[in-house]
């Protein structure tokens, strides 16, 4: 990959990251628009699989999206370049806000704003959870419902560490995959 | 020492957050609020609010915010590195395997089992945030209930679910409603 292409990769991931509000799902869609439709660097089918990898691997989707696209286009160098470009904008913005935060917090108007926004963000999360839970309930899969309810009780009422729950689910998922494969083969 | 702790905490967040969006939130809350007490639950909620209104994933925003608060810019860099390192390794290996073998069923199947659990974990973390908004950090009791916060919450939830309003707009509105009620309604009580 030429130097010029690497610069383009850096600048496009940087601008995507700086101007994308609203989470990882939005940024991967924009990445697809940029790298598939605009530059024709990746073909449509491959991009869909790369997005699936970004979404099903651990970590932030935006960062994972940058990794898969960077790797596909320019190997390890591409990964480093696109990841750095992706984290620079939030890093700069949040650093700036953190330095002002203490000053902000003592101002009565801003303190009231932030207090009210706590109820607002609570509502945003509640709305997201209702939507996601409705999706799971709609599947009418007893196993998924069981996982959802038991995970909730274990974390909220019994304070079980989140990591244990995720780890157990990964193990269950792997066992299920291998059992399923075994069934298909025999 | 504190830098190493920051690094290890955000490394765990990086390894175990599956599913994007809010999925990292319960893990960050667990590490940063419950285990290490780097932020209070109110500060954590402010952080989630700020994350919603600025570009970038919640995990990266938290790493920067917590890192700066605990150990300045070096802390922010170390925490951010810890947070992205697992992704860089795991996703690169998977992308390599995919481009070589073009097979990823097991990955999808693991995610299918994880998805309901992730919803539950987000619900649990969200409920903690809502309870703090309603009762403050003093604990749940009738006398600590802030009625105005419950009213704002219900209005916001209605605007989001019924009218599908933009979340950033709804959050700013929630803030403004609280300022308004403080100056207009509180003096009357």
Residue with the larger pLDDT of the pair A148 and B21: A148
Instruction: Report the distance separating Cα B51 and Cα A22, nearest Å.
Output: 9
Which range of A16-30, A41-55, B98-112 scores highest in mean pLDDT? It is A41-55
A148 pLDDT exceeds 80? Answer: yes
Nearest to A28 by CA among A69, A57, A81, A58: A69
Burial class (CB in 10 A: 0-12, 13-18, 19+), B165: middle
Check: CB of residue B124 under 8 Å from CB of residue B22: no
pLDDT of res. A183: 64
Check: CB of residue A140 under 8 Å from CB of residue B105: no
pLDDT of res. B171: 87
Question: Do A118 and B46 count as a contact with CB atoms less than 8 A apart?
Answer: yes
Nearest to B21 by CA among A124, A160, A118: A124
| Smallest Cα distance from A37 to chain B, Å | 21
Residue B81: count other Cβ atoms within 10 Å of its Cβ. 18
- Which residues of chain B have a CB within 8 Å of the CB of A126? 126, 130, 153, 157
Check: CB of residue A97 under 8 Å from CB of residue B49: no
pLDDT by position in tens, chain B (length 189): 899 999 999 999 999 888 777 888 899 999 999 999 999 998 999 999 888 888 889 999 999 999 999 999 999 999 999 999 999 999 999 888 887 776 666 677 777 888 888 889 889 888 988 998 898 877 777 778 889 999 999 999 999 999 988 888 898 999 999 999 999 887 777
Structure token pair of residue B56: 């970038």
pLDDT of res. A68: 92
Residue B37: count other Cβ atoms within 10 Å of its Cβ. 8
| Smallest Cα distance from A109 to chain B, Å | 7
A7 pLDDT exceeds 70? Answer: yes
| Smallest Cα distance from A30 to chain B, Å | 14
Instruction: Report the distance separating Cα B162 and Cα B139, nearest Å.
Output: 31
Question: Do A20 and B55 count as a contact with CB atoms less than 8 A apart?
Answer: yes
Q: Using one digit for the tens of pLDDT, what is the confidence trace for A52-109?
A: 788 888 899 899 999 999 999 999 999 999 999 999 999 999 999 998 888 878 888 8
pLDDT of res. A140: 84
pLDDT of res. A176: 82
Instruction: Report the distance separating Cα B147 and Cα B139, nearest Å.
Output: 15
- Which residues of chain A have a CB within 8 Å of the CB of B137? none
Helix (H, G, I), strand (E, B) or coil at B40: coil
State the ipTM, two decimals: 0.82
Question: Do A61 and B122 count as a contact with CB atoms less than 8 A apart?
Answer: no
Question: Do B49 and A120 count as a contact with CB atoms less than 8 A apart?
Answer: yes
pLDDT of res. A119: 92
Which among B15, B22, B56 has CB closest to A17? B56
Instruction: Report the distance separating Cα B105 and Cα B30, nearest Å.
Output: 30
Nearest to A88 by CA among A115, A108, A50, A62: A62
pLDDT of res. B157: 94
Structure token pair of residue A46: 């491959």
A21 shares contact with chain B (CB less than 8 Å): yes
A43 shares contact with chain B (CB less than 8 Å): no
Question: Do A55 and B167 count as a contact with CB atoms less than 8 A apart?
Answer: no
Question: Do B92 and A67 count as a contact with CB atoms less than 8 A apart?
Answer: yes
In degrees, rounded to 5, the angle at the alpha carbon of residue B8 between the alpha carbons of residues B121 and B43 is 55
A142 pLDDT exceeds 80? Answer: yes
Structure token pair of residue B100: 């070589």
In degrees, rounded to 5, the angle at the alpha carbon of residue A130 between the alpha carbons of residues A127 and A132 is 105
For B43-105, list the strands marked E by DSSP.
none
Instruction: Report the distance separating Cα A20 and Cα A90, nearest Å.
Output: 10
B186 shares contact with chain A (CB less than 8 Å): no
| Smallest Cα distance from A100 to chain B, Å | 11
Q: What is the DSSP string of A87-109?
A: HHHHHHHHHHHHHHHHHHHHSHH
Name the residue of chain B whose CA is nearest to A69's CA: B95
Helix (H, G, I), strand (E, B) or coil at A58: coil
Instruction: Indicate the domain borders of chain A.
Output: 1-106, 141-186
Which among A123, A136, A156 has CB closest to B119? A136
DSSP class of residue B188? G
């Amino acid at each position: 990959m030429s130097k010029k292409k690497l610069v383009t990769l850096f600048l496009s991931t940087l601008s995507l990251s700086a101007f994308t509000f609203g989470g990882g799902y939005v940024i991967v869609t924009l990445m697809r628009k940029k790298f598939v439709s605009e530059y024709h660097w990746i073909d449509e089918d491959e991009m869909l699989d790369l997005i699936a990898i970004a979404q099903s691997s651990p970590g932030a989707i935006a960062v994972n999206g940058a990794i898969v696209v960077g790797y596909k286009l320019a190997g390890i160098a591409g990964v480093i370049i696109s990841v750095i470009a992706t984290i620079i904008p939030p890093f700069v913005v949040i650093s700036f806000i953190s330095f002002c935060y203490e000053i902000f917090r003592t101002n009565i108007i801003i303190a009231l704003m932030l207090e009210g926004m706590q109820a607002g963000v609570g509502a945003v999360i509640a709305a997201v959870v209702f939507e996601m839970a409705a999706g799971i309930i709609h599947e009418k899969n007893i196993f998924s419902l069981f996982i959802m309810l038991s995970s909730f009780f274990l974390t909220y009422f019994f304070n079980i560490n989140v990591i244990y729950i995720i780890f157990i689910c990964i193990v269950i998922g792997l066992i299920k995959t291998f059992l399923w494969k075994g069934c298909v083969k025999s | 020492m504190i830098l190493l702790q920051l690094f290890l905490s955000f490394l765990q967040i990086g390894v175990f957050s599956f599913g994007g969006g809010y999925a990292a939130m319960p893990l960050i809350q667990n590490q940063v609020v419950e285990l290490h007490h780097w932020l209070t639950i109110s500060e954590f909620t402010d952080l989630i609010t700020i994350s919603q209104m600025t570009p970038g994933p919640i995990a990266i925003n938290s790493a920067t915010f917590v890192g700066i608060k605990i150990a300045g810019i070096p802390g922010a860099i170390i925490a951010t590195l810890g947070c992205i390192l697992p992704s860089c390794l795991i996703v690169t290996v998977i992308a390599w395997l995919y481009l070589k073998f073009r097979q990823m069923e097991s990955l999808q199947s693991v995610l299918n089992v994880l998805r309901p659990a992730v919803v539950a974990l987000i619900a649990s973390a969200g409920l903690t945030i809502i309870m703090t908004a309603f009762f403050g950090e003093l604990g749940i009791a009738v006398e600590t209930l802030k009625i105005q916060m419950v009213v704002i919450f219900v209005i916001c939830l209605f605007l989001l679910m019924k009218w599908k309003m933009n979340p950033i707009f709804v959050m700013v509105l929630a803030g403004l409603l609280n300022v308004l009620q403080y100056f207009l309604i509180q003096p009357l009580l």
